[in-house]
Amino acid sequence: MEIGRFLTTEDNMRFLKRHLGDLSAYVFILPSFVILGLFLVYPVIWSIIASFKDIPPIALRRSGLFSIPGEVVGFKHYADALQNSLFIKAVFNTLYFSVIYIPITMFGSVFLAMLVNKALPGTNFFRSVFFIPYIISVVSASLIFMFLFNGDRGLVNALLSNFGIAGPNWLASTLWAMPVIAIMSCWRNMGYYMLIYLSGLQNISKDLYEVADVEGANGFQKFRYITWPLLGRISLVVMILLMINSLNVFQEVYIMTGGGPSDSTVTLPFLIFNRAFKYYEFGPAAAISYLLFIVVVIVTVIQKSIVNKRLG
Amino acid sequence: MNASKVAQTIVLWTIGILFLLPLYWLFVSSLKSDSEITRFPPTYWPETFVWSNFPEIWEQLNFHVSFSNSFIVSVPTVFLTVLFSSMAGYAFSKKRFLGREALFTFLIATMTVPPTVLLLPLYFIITKMGMFDSLIGLIIPFSVTVFAIFFTKQYIDDIPTDMLEAAKVDGSGDFRTFFTIIIPLIRPALTALIIIDFVQNWNSFTMPLVLLQSEDKFTIPLKLALMSQDTVATPWSKILAANLLSLMPVLILFLAMQKHFVAGLMAGSVKG
C-alpha cells in the first residue's frame, strides 16, 4: 500500500484485516488477556522490581496499584540471601526432601503402572485407590499423616511396637520430620504419575514383548531393554515435574511442623512466606522467590535440551 | 492362574492395602470416642461408633459457613475458568490475530513460574484492588488458568476448520459458532476440566491463607488448618471427623465422574 494515498474506508478495513487478523479474535482473548496480565504477568514483574528494592511496609500500604516504592539497592537482597544460614539450610532441607521423594515416587509410579496394566483380580479397584490420594487436599492429607505418625498414639508407632521397636516422635525429630513429609507427598502424588506412565505403557507395541518371549528374555530383561527405554521421554517429563514439586513444598510444612524442629523442615517456599508475611521483609522475600524461579527455569531448560538431544 | 500371576496379585493387593491404610485410619479414628482416641496402643476398630462426632464438630466449627464459602468460591471460579479459557483456546486454535504465536509461546513459558513467586505480589495487587478479605478476591484473579487455555486449545485443534467455515457461510456469527458448535463438540474435555478445576479450587489453601482475615469468610481448608493449630480444645477424633466431612464433595465428585477425570488428566499431562 502506498504511503500518502487517500484511503477509503474499505481499504482501511482490508489493511486492518490483513495485519491484525480476525477482529473478533481480540474479543475472545480479552478476558484471559486482562486477567492473566494483571494476576500473572504483572506479579512476575512486580517481584523482580521488588527484589532490587528496600520497601518500607508503610509506604507500600499507601502506594497505588502500579507503583512500588522504596530505594533501589541492586543485588543486595540476592547477595544477602545466598549468605544467609537459614537460606542455605532451606536449600539443604529441600535436597533432603527430594532425595527421598523423587526416587520413591518415580520408581513407585512405574512399578504401579506396570502392575495395574496387567489383568489381575482387583486391578480396576486398586487403580482408583492409588489415585484417590491425589484429589485429597494437602491440608487433609497433612492432618491424616500427623495423626498416623503421632509419637504417643500414632498407628505407625503402634505397629512398630509389635516388632519391639520403640518408634521416635516423628514430627518432633530433626532427622525424621522431613522424611514423614516426603512420604506423605509420595502417597499423595504417586497415583497421578502412575496414570502418566500408564498411558505411556499402553503406547508400547505388544509385538516387542512377543519377540522378546521368542528370544527367551526374562521379565527383568524385558523391563530393562524394552519398557524402561521406551518410557524415556515420559520419565524425563516426570522427573522435571517431581523436581518442581520438590521446590514447591509449603502447605505440608506450614501445617505439620511449622518449619521445626529447629528449622529442620524449613523449605524455600516456607522461608519466602515467613520473610514476607511474618517479618514484612518484602524485598528479601522477592529476591529469594526469584532465586527459586531461576532454579526452576534452569531445571526446565536442561531437561528440555536433554529431551531434544536424546529423543529428537 | 500361574505362580507369577499369583505373586503379582499378592503384591498389588499388599500395596493397595498400604495405600488405603491412611484413609482407613481416618475413617475409624473419626468414629472413636474422645477417650478411646487417646489410648495407646490404639484400637483397630472403634469399640463404640460415635456418630455424634460429625454433627458435634459441624456445630462447633460452624462448618456450614465454611462449606458455603468454599462453594461460593469454587463454583463461579470454575464456571469463569471454563468460559474464559475455552474462549481463548478457540482464538488460539482457529483465529488469526497479531502476535498469536508469540503470545502462545509466552503463555506456555509462564507455566514454569512457581506459585510462591506470585504469592507476595498477588497479595498486594488484590489488596490494592480492594478485594482483601473478600471471597471475590479468590474468584476473579483465578478465573483463567494457562493450563485450561492449553487444554481446551488441544481439543479445539481437532475440530475440522471446514466445519466452522460452513457455519460461517450459513451466516452464523462468531459467538453463535462458539456456543453452538465448539462448546458441544468439546464437552468431554470441558467435563474433565470442570472436575480438575473444582478439585483444585476446593483444596486451595495458600491464597485463602494470605487473603482472608475474618473467620466468617474462611474456606474449608483454611478452617481445618487453623482448627488443628490450636489443638488444645479439639480431640483428634473430632479433627479427623471434620477432615472426613471436608473430603466428601471432591470424593463424591471423583467417584461419580472418575472416567472423565482420569481421561482428562492423562490427555492434558501427556501432551503437555
Cβ-Cβ contacts under 8 Å, A204 against chain B = none
Determine, for residues A44 and B118 on separate chains, whether the beta-carbon distance falls below 8 Å: yes
Q: Look at residue A301 and give its three-state secondary structure.
A: helix
Determine, for residues B251 and A135 on separate chains, whether the beta-carbon distance falls below 8 Å: yes
Question: Contact, B90 vs B152, CB < 8 A?
Answer: yes
Q: Which of A148, A277, A292 sits opposite B114 (nearest CB)?
A: A292
pLDDT (tens digit per residue) in B64-113: 999 999 999 999 999 999 999 999 999 999 888 888 999 999 998 888 88
Question: Contact, A38 vs B141, CB < 8 A?
Answer: yes
* B247–chain A Cβ distance below 8 A for any pair: yes
B271 pLDDT band, cuts 50/70/90, is very low
Q: Which of B42, B91, B128 sits opposite A65 (nearest CB)?
A: B128
Please give the mean pLDDT across all residues of chain A: 87
Cβ-Cβ contacts under 8 Å, B103 against chain A = 29
Residue B171 pLDDT > 90: no
Chain A with chain B: Cβ pairs closer than 8 A: 265
High-pLDDT (> 70) share of chain A, %:
95
pLDDT of residue A312: 47
Least confident of A260-269, A271-280, A296-305, B224-233: B224-233
Report the gap between the CA of A301 and the closest CA in chain B (Å).
10
CA B181, B187, B193: angle at the middle one, nearest 5?
130
* B221–chain A Cβ distance below 8 A for any pair: yes
pLDDT of residue B173: 83
B1 pLDDT band, cuts 50/70/90, is low
pLDDT of residue A123: 87
* B205–chain A Cβ distance below 8 A for any pair: yes
Question: What's the rounded Cα separation, in Å, for the pair A273 and A292?
Answer: 13
pLDDT (tens digit per residue) in A86-109: 999 999 999 999 999 999 999 999
Question: Contact, A246 vs A93, CB < 8 A?
Answer: no
Average pLDDT over residues A72-80: 88
Determine, for residues B120 and A187 on separate chains, whether the beta-carbon distance falls below 8 Å: no
| This prediction's pTM | 0.88
pLDDT of residue A112: 94
Q: Which of A25, A141, A196 sits opposite B96 (nearest CB)?
A: A25
Residue B267 pLDDT > 70: no
Determine, for residues A187 and B22 on separate chains, whether the beta-carbon distance falls below 8 Å: yes
Cell of B89: 483456546
Nearest chain B residue to A189 by CA distance is B19
Q: Which of A139, A152, A247 sits opposite B40 (nearest CB)?
A: A152
User: What's the complex ipTM?
Assistant: 0.89
Question: What's the rounded Cα separation, in Å, for the pair A104 and A151?
Answer: 24
Residue B272 pLDDT > 60: no
Determine, for residues B270 and A25 on separate chains, whether the beta-carbon distance falls below 8 Å: no
Determine, for residues B97 and A273 on separate chains, whether the beta-carbon distance falls below 8 Å: no
Q: Which of A272, A241, A297, A281 is nearest to A90 (CA)?
A: A272
Report the gap between the CA of A276 and the closest CA in chain B (Å).
7
- H-state helical runs in chain B: 3-30, 53-60, 63-94, 100-110, 115-128, 146-157, 161-169, 174-177, 183-185, 187-203, 206-211, 220-229, 236-271
List of domains in chain A:
2-77 (no CATH), 81-311 (1.10.3720.10)
A143 pLDDT band, cuts 50/70/90, is very high
For an interface test with A, the pick among B5, B12, B94, B96 (most A C-beta atoms closer than 10 Å) comes out as B12
Cβ-Cβ contacts under 8 Å, B91 against chain A = 25, 28-29
Please report the residues numbered 257 through 296 in chain A whose beta carbons come closer than 8 angstroms to any beta carbon of chain B: 268-269, 272-273, 276-277, 282, 285-286, 289-290, 292-293, 296
Q: Kindly report the backbone phi and psi dihedral angles of residue A215, in degrees, each rounded to the nearest multiple of 5, phi listed first.
A: -75, -5
